[in-house]
Structure 1
Amino acid sequence: MKRLFTKQMGAAISGILAATLLAGCGNGNDSDNSSEEPATAWDEIQEQGVLTVATSGTLFPTSYREEGTDELTGFEVEVVREIAERLELDVEFTELGFDEMLTSVQTGQVDMAANDIEITEDRQEHFMFSTPFKYSYGTAIVRSDDLSGIETLEDLEGKKAAGASTSVYMETAREYGAEEVVYDNATNETYLRDVAVGRTDVILNDYYLQTLAIANFPELDITIHPNLKYSPSEVGVVMNEDNEELAENVNRVIGEMLEDGTISEISGEFFNGADVTEEVEIEE
Structure 2
Amino acid sequence: MKKFNKLVLSLVLCTGGIAGCSSETASSPETDTLKTQASVTTQEVTDTLKVGVDLKFPPFSYIDENGDPAGFEVDVANAFGEFMGKEVEIVNTDFSLLIPALETGDVDILIADMAKTDERSQKVDFSVPYRYSYTLALVNKDFANLHNITDEMPEDKFFALDDTNFVGLSGTKGVYYPQSKGVDVTEVTEIGTGLIEVSQGFADVLIASNEVHSFHAADPENTIVYGGIKAQDASNFAVRKGDSEMLDKANEFIASMYEDGGLYDQMAEEYDPIIAEFLHNDDLGLSYIVNPTN
So what's the TM-score if we normalise by structure 1? Answer: 0.63
Q: Give per-residue Cα distances to partners, 1:128-176, cap 9 Å, x unaligned.
A: 11221223421123445546x996335697633125x2x4554224433
Would the alpha carbon gap of residues 223 and 157 (structure 1) be closer, same or farther in structure 2, given more than 3 Å must change?
Answer: closer
Would the alpha carbon gap of residues 189 and 171 (structure 1) be closer, same or farther in structure 2, given more than 3 Å must change?
Answer: closer
Q: How does 1:29-48 map to 2 (within 5 A)?
A: none
Cα distance in 1, alignment partners of residues 164 and 94 from structure 2: 26
Aligned residue number for residue 56 of structure 1: 54
Aligned residue number for residue 80 of structure 1: 77
Cα distance in 2, alignment partners of residues 117 and 226 from structure 1: 24
Q: Could you say what secondary structure the match of 1:57 adopts? A: coil
Confirm or deny: 8 A CA contact 2:167 2:175 kept in the other structure: no
Aligned residue number for residue 181 of structure 1: 188
Matched, 1:108 2:109: no
Would the alpha carbon gap of residues 223 and 158 (structure 1) be closer, same or farther in structure 2, given more than 3 Å must change?
Answer: closer
- Residue 51 (structure 1) shift: 1.8
Would the alpha carbon gap of residues 193 and 76 (structure 1) be closer, same or farther in structure 2, given more than 3 Å must change?
Answer: farther
Cα distance in 2, alignment partners of residues 197 and 54 from structure 1: 38
Would the alpha carbon gap of residues 230 and 182 (structure 1) be closer, same or farther in structure 2, given more than 3 Å must change?
Answer: farther
Cα distance in 2, alignment partners of residues 198 and 60 from structure 1: 28
Cα distance in 2, alignment partners of residues 220 and 97 from structure 1: 32
Cα distance in 2, alignment partners of residues 195 and 69 from structure 1: 36
Matched, 1:140 2:147: no
Confirm or deny: 8 A CA contact 1:51 1:111 kept in the other structure: yes
Matched, 1:278 2:283: no
Q: Could you say what secondary structure the match of 1:279 adopts? A: coil
> Which blocks of at least 5 consecutive residues in structure 1 are unaligned?
1-44
Aligned residue number for residue 262 of structure 2: 261
Q: Give per-residue Cα distances to partners, 1:243-266, cap 9 Å, x unaligned.
A: 211111222222222223212443
One-letter amino acid of the structure 2 residue matched with residue 251 of structure 1 = N
Q: Identify the structure with bigger relative contact order (alpha carbons < 8 Å, sequence gap 6+).
A: 1
> Which blocks of at least 5 consecutive residues in structure 2 are unaligned?
1-42, 150-157, 277-284
Confirm or deny: 8 A CA contact 1:51 1:90 kept in the other structure: yes
- RMSD of aligned Cα (Å): 3.7
- Residue 81 (structure 1) shift: 1.3
May I ask how many residue pairs the two structures share in their alignment?
Answer: 227
Q: How much identity, in percent, do the aligned residues show?
A: 21
Aligned residue number for residue 206 of structure 1: 209
Q: Give per-residue Cα distances to partners, 1:94-150, cap 9 Å, x unaligned.
A: 333322223322333322222222234443343211221223421123445546x99
Aligned residue number for residue 176 of structure 2: 171
Would the alpha carbon gap of residues 52 and 255 (structure 1) be closer, same or farther in structure 2, given more than 3 Å must change?
Answer: same
Cα distance in 1, alignment partners of residues 66 and 192 from structure 2: 17
Cα distance in 2, alignment partners of residues 120 and 239 from structure 1: 14
Matched, 1:91 2:97: no
Q: Could you say what secondary structure the match of 1:131 adopts? A: strand
- Residue 198 (structure 1) shift: 7.5
Confirm or deny: 8 A CA contact 2:165 2:204 kept in the other structure: no
